[in-house]
């Protein structure tokens, strides 16, 4: 959606919207509209909407009011909901332009940007394969013209729009079907989107990964006709004062572009959802695009392991033992616990290649995390309290909320194998924790690391604050905020 700024409401505007705090109405609102708003019990509560009609300049115009509630600690979230509410209401209304009049709203530049971020994110949808939509079902709203914004709002929006683009890219990758997005095409899509951004792409193919000894990742991929890939996206946005490169922060994503479960095959019902088992990789790619678009002053590498987990005659079997790039051996008890096998080799590779100052991995790793947290939080596991606190704070600000889980020797013992160094699953209980314990065995001592299990948050069956049903883009805003606070603050 296009967002522009103008000094006055464009002549001929047919839809004019205002953002209202609790128990307030815009200055100069026609008495009949003010009376109608009060009669309809519009009080400016968060998410509350009102629509009326008035004659202005010889034509009838729609006037919309979006409630933002009382100013408080969750101000940005409330303003995002107000902007998103306007988009949700008018996206398929037949209107093509919405004039957002902020002249009497009293919003700061950051607050205005929050409204616009919510409005843009709520307007994203992928209709590529919907060929029989009726006209009234097709999006019509194409532009928001912002009037009366505070000085600095337009410049700030340039940065926030970069984040919006990253979220949208993550949603795009997650939403595309598995016959469109698979390891090779994921790389190709990134090559197109990152062209001209300054992000360096490095790609490892199956032969190169074999030479490096990535037996765990390759074991997952061996049952598929689609060859695996490792994609690294490198952004160098900061330098040390002495002229050398600053330390890298590493973001690592699970990229299982479709997960049947392999030989430990999943039930048929709901298996179509497993196209989004690459949600961690999508979030990392979206974050890297956002960082590049806004020119983040940080050195970051995003690495994703891309495989398809299929059950053909070449697929690995329960009971197989694979050797990881780190040299540790893994007894594969369950081939549906494949994400950790992909991530362990990617973690080893990024540590050897970049020696990052901190690592955050994102993965749709376990169904157990959904049992624990539902769809409201992602699970967080960390070996470093400072990193965990920084991510938790970033989650609260960004809206990508986290909840920390424990790690410890008692859980670690549950994944000891009698014939190998480690087995890829533990007992039924504590499944998300033992999965994190598995990954921790591949993190070098002294490296701050956090694992985010995002299985319950990358996809939703109902609309949310700033998204429709489907891919949420979870993780992009979280990682962007973390970097702003830690590396760029």
| Active site members | 266, 340
- At residue 489, the pLDDT reads 64
Can you tell me the distance from the alpha carbon of 44 to that of 60, in angstroms, rounded to the nearest whole number?
24
Residue 83: which H helix or E strand, with range? helix 75-90
DSSP 246: P
CA-based Rg of the chain, rounded to a whole angstrom? 24
Tally DSSP H helices, then E strands, for the chain: 14, 19
Looking at 206-306, list the stretches that DSSP marks H as alpha helix, in order from N- to C-terminal side.
206-212, 215-221, 279-294
Ordered by where they begin, the domains of the chain are 2-150 (3.40.220.10), 163-486 (3.40.630.10)
Can you tell me the distance from the alpha carbon of 62 to that of 238, in angstroms, rounded to the nearest whole number?
48
Joined together, the tokens standing for residue 481 give 């905020």
Contact assessment for residue 125 and residue 467, using Cβ atoms and an 8 Å cutoff: no
Distance of CA 279 to the CA centre of its chain: 8
Closest CA to 100 of 141, 51, 146, 44: 146
Residue 66: which H helix or E strand, with range? strand 59-69
- At residue 243, the pLDDT reads 39
Contact assessment for residue 480 and residue 287, using Cβ atoms and an 8 Å cutoff: yes
Instruction: Order the strands of the 321-323 sheet from edge to edge.
Output: 321-323, 329-331, 422-423
Residue 476: which H helix or E strand, with range? helix 476-486
Contact assessment for residue 258 and residue 166, using Cβ atoms and an 8 Å cutoff: no
Residue 18: which H helix or E strand, with range? strand 15-21
Residue in the structure block whose two tokens are 């993965």 = 363
Judged by DSSP in three states, 10 sits in coil
Global confidence as pTM: 0.97
Per-residue pLDDT of the chain (489 residues), as tens digits, is 999 999 999 988 999 999 999 999 999 999 999 999 999 999 999 999 999 999 998 899 999 999 999 998 899 999 999 999 999 999 999 999 999 999 999 999 999 999 999 999 999 999 999 999 999 999 999 999 999 999 999 999 999 999 999 999 999 999 999 999 999 999 999 999 999 999 999 999 999 999 999 999 999 999 999 999 999 999 999 975 333 457 999 999 999 999 999 999 999 999 999 999 999 999 999 999 999 999 999 999 999 999 999 999 999 999 999 999 999 999 999 999 999 999 999 999 999 999 999 999 999 999 999 999 999 999 999 999 999 999 999 999 999 999 999 999 999 999 999 999 999 999 999 999 999 999 999 999 999 999 999 999 999 999 998 999 999 999 999 999 999 998 886
């Amino acid at each position: 959606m296009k967002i522009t700024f103008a000094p006055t409401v464009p002549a001929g505007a047919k839809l004019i919207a205002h953002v209202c705090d609790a128990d307030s109405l815009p200055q100069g609102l026609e008495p009949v509209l003010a009376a109608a708003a009060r009669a309809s019990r519009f009080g400016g509560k968060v998410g509350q909407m009102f629509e009326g009609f008035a004659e202005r300049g010889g034509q009838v115009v729609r006037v919309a009011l979006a409630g933002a509630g009382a100013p408080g600690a969750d101000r940005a979230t409330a303003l995002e909901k107000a902007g998103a509410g306007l988009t949700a209401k008018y996206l398929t209304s037949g209107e093509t332009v919405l004039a957002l009049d902020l002249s009497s709203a009293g919003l700061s530049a950051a607050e205005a940007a929050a409204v616009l971020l919510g409005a843009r994110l709520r307007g994203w949808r992928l209709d590529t394969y919907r060929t029989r939509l009726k006209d009234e079902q097709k999006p019509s709203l194409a532009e928001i013209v912002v009037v009366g914004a505070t000085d600095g709002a337009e410049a700030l929006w340039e940065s926030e729009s970069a984040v919006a683009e990253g979220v949208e890219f993550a949603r795009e990758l997650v939403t595309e079907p598995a016959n469109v997005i698979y390891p090779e095409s994921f790389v190709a899509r990134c090559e197109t989107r990152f062209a001209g951004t300054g992000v360096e792409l490095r790609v490892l193919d199956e032969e190169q990964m074999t030479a490096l000894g990535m037996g765990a990742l390759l074991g997952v991929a061996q049952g598929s006709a689609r060859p695996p890939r490792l994609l690294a996206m490198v952004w160098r946005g900061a330098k040390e004062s002495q002229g050398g490169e600053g330390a890298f922060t590493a973001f690592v994503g699970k990229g299982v572009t479709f997960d049947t479960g392999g030989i430990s095959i999943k039930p048929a019902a709901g298996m179509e959802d497993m196209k989004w088992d690459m949600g961690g990789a999508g979030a990392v790619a979206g974050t890297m695009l956002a960082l590049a678009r806004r020119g983040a002053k940080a050195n970051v590498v995003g690495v994703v392991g891309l495989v398809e987990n299929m059950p053909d005659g070449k697929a690995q079997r329960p009971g197989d033992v694979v050797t990881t790039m780190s040299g540790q051996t893994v007894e594969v008890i369950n081939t549906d616990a494949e994400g950790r096998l992909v991530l362990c080799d990617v973690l080893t590779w990024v540590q050897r290649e970049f020696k990052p100052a901190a690592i955050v991995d994102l993965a749709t790793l376990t169904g157990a995390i959904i049992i624990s947290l539902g769809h409201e939080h992602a699970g967080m596991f960390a070996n470093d309290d400072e990193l965990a606190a920084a991510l938790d704070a970033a989650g609260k600000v960004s809206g990508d909320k986290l909840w920390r889980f424990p790690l410890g020797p008692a859980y670690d013992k549950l994944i000891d194998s009698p014939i190998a160094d480690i087995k890829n699953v533990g007992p039924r209980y504590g499944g998300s924790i033992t999965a994190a314990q598995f990954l921790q065995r591949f993190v070098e001592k002294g490296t701050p690391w956090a694992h985010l299990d995002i299985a319950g948050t990358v996809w939703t069956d109902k609309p949310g604050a700033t998204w429709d049903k489907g891919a949420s883009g979870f993780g992009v805003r979280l990682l962007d905020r973390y970097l702003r606070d830690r590396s760029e603050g």
